């Protein structure tokens, strides 16, 4: 297991110290500590930790609100610590994108595996997000190429294969992607563009 860089946000100093000791005993590096959600968000953006461990109940912005910001901005995975195990808190944490949820008192035997699982899941989700973005881009390119092909077929009375070859040839000649060429063709030939 790799050494993780962790940001710890806990408003109870004794609990914060205990958790920090557990993490450091396992070779984790605590890169920052704070006692409220807004500071956690600011530090996470600045320090780019591998994991943010936060209490739910903190002054100002609570841990769930901070987790929503960190998740939306894809800053780091969040593990929430809390004394509350009610379904309401668990559901809100899940909706906020929290990847692990531990009920206090926390032990090293529960904390360390939860940290690794949260980071592992975050990395899996990152790969899936990237694959999804690539598929969306490929689909958009395909739609543009199909539209440009249709315009070339209509304007120059080409069959589908020749229209496609024309787009590909322009792409190679101009050292541009077929998507870029298709956009240019659509702009120049489509009166609705």
pLDDT for 50-66, tens place per residue?
999 999 999 999 999 99
What CA–CA distances, in Å, run from 140 to 34, 130, 182? 44, 15, 11
Domain over 132-189 is classified CATH 1.10.10.10: yes
Task: Tell me which range, 85-89, 92-96, 110-114, is most confidently predicted by mean pLDDT.
Answer: 110-114
What are the beta bridge partners of residue 5?
29
pLDDT value of residue 1: 65
Query: Can you give the residue ranges of every domain in the chain?
Result: 5-106, 132-189
Closest alpha carbon to 106 in 77, 85, 82: 82
Whether the CB-CB separation of 62 and 84 falls below 8 Å is answered with: no
Q: What architecture is domain 5-106? A: 3-Layer(aba) Sandwich (3.40)
Q: What is the pTM of this model?
A: 0.74
């Amino acid at each position: 297991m790799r050494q993780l860089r962790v940001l710890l946000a806990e408003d109870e100093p004794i609990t914060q110290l205990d958790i920090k000791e557990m993490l450091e005993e396992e070779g984790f590096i605590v890169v920052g500590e704070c006692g409220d959600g807004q500071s956690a968000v600011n530090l996470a953006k600045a320090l780019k930790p591998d994991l943010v461990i936060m209490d739910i109940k903190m002054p100002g912005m609570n841990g769930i609100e901070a987790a929503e910001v960190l998740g939306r901005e894809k800053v780091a995975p969040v593990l929430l610590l809390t004394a509350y195990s009610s379904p309401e808190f668990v559901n809100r944490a899940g909706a906020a994108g929290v990847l692990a949820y531990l009920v206090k008192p926390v032990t090293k035997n529960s904390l360390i595996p939860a940290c690794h699982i949260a980071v592992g899941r975050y990395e899996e989700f990152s790969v899936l997000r990237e694959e999804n973005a690539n598929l969306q881009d490929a689909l958009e390119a395909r739609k543009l190429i199909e539209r440009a092909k249709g315009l070339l077929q209509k304007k120059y009375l080409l069959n589908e294969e020749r229209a496609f070859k024309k787009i590909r040839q322009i792409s190679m000649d101009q050292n541009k992607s077929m998507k870029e060429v298709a956009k240019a063709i659509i702009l120049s030939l489509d009166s609705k563009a």
